Structure 1
């Protein structure tokens, strides 16, 4: 299996359908969370909705680059979640997340393996491989946080 196919599989595992590493994934963890739970603040922790937005923000930013655009995302905006005031808002956020995740994986599958060693936008960001691996690791990090926050809420 090519490198890009393996990376797309790993990416889908953490977001959409995997159980291998964490015995769960974002879609599984968020499936039974109401909008009220998703926006519940516990101490100084981010909310589940904020963490969901945060990961999707980075996915959408990388998609833009994969599609030939510029890297327009900035860390300082990565938690700027628009208000979630009802179930529809929460469902819209999750659906955007699932759609962006699938788009990311589809684009990744279409990349040639040779692209993985190319520089990503700017030399300071390293290679495509480094950024894609970083996206997967970043997602697992926040998946763990969501799992713990969910336990605290319940």
Structure 2
């Protein structure tokens, strides 16, 4: 299997349909969350809604690069979640994450393997491979947080 197909498979595992590493994924963890649960603050932890926004912020930013745009995301804005005040707003946020995740995987599958060794936007960011691997690891990190927050809410 090519490198890009392996990466796309790993990306889908953590976001959409996998059980291999964490025995769960974002879609599974978020499917039954109500908007009230999503915005419930536990101590100083980020909310589930905030973590959902945060991960989608980075996915959408990388999609922009994959589609030929610039790297326009900035860490300082990655938690700037607009208020979520209804089930409909929560579902919009959740559906955006899932849609962007599938778009990311499809765009990744269309890349040639050789692209993985090219600089990502600027050499200071490393290669495409480093950034995609980093995105997958970042997703697993926050998936673990969401899983724990769900347990605390129940």
What's the TM-score, normalizing by structure 1? 1.00
- Match of residue 43 from structure 2: 43
Counterpart-to-counterpart distance in 1, 2:15 and 2:150: 16
Name the Cα RMSD after superposition. Answer: 0.3
1:1-154 alignment runs, 5 A limit: 1-154=1-154
The aligned length equals 154
* Structure 2 gap ranges (5+): none
Shift of 1:139: 0.1
Counterpart-to-counterpart distance in 2, 1:8 and 1:45: 30
SS state at 2:68 partner? coil
The C-alpha deviation readout for 1:37-95, integer Å capped at 9, x for no partner, is 00000010000000000000000000000000000000000000011000000000000
Counterpart-to-counterpart distance in 2, 1:55 and 1:124: 22
Counterpart-to-counterpart distance in 1, 2:4 and 2:123: 21
Counterpart-to-counterpart distance in 1, 2:43 and 2:12: 31
Shift of 1:17: 0.3
SS state at 2:70 partner? coil
Shift of 1:136: 0.1
Find runs of 4+ consecutive structure 1 residues off by over 4 angstroms: none
